[in-house]
Homo-oligomer: A and B are copies of this chain.
Amino acid sequence: MTTKNIVFIATSLDGYIADKEGGLDWLHSIPNPDNNDMGYGALIKRVDAIVMGRNTFETVCSFGIDWPYTIPVFVLSTTLKSIPEKYIKQVQLVNGSLTEVLNKIHNMGFNNLYIDGGTTIQSFLKEDLIDEMILTTIPVLLGGGAHLFTNIPKELEFEHVKSELFLNHIVQNHYKRKR
């Protein structure tokens, strides 16, 4: 069975996923009157489940909106002891090494995974476990914040799959790991 781990995330031109104050307003700096989803719907159709870190999970919870995901979500955390009751049907807590976590998720029949959240993406990259990256670049220099990419032990080569331009100003590049 082929498995795949896919990153789908937006960064600023200078590679940040959150600004100096942890804010995300800059994600909406380009007007999007028709609510173009910039490939998000197509991505969700391609994956079976989402793996995210505790930070991302808590950020989504904090939005105060209905649970936005239509597919199962696995939250990677060593500190979280349980998932709040209201999310218990949609969300499962997982921990252990990434290999153990992936084995568990694959054994449940979820093979194509959307890997989300800066720390989680980093952990996967450190172990060379990312197969595809769909990176959306918002044309702003934030000048500081949380970097998407930080240190990884070895160089990882990727191949360009395609590029798309959204809303006249937002470039989205799709890469796959060269193996």
Contact = CB atoms under 8 A, between A and B. Distances in A.
Nearest to A148: B14
Nearest to A154: B143
Contact of A26 (B135, B155, B169): B155
Contacts of A129: none
Interface in A75-126: 125
Contacts of A159: 139, 169
A171 B163 CA distance: 8
* Interface footprint category on A: 35 or more
Nearest to A19: B155
A56 interface: no
Contacts of A178: 139
A178 B26 CA distance: 14
A139 B149 CA distance: 13
A178 B160 CA distance: 28
A24 interface: no
Contacts of A149: 13-15, 141
Interface in A140-179: 140-144, 147-149, 151-160, 163, 165, 168-171, 173, 175, 178
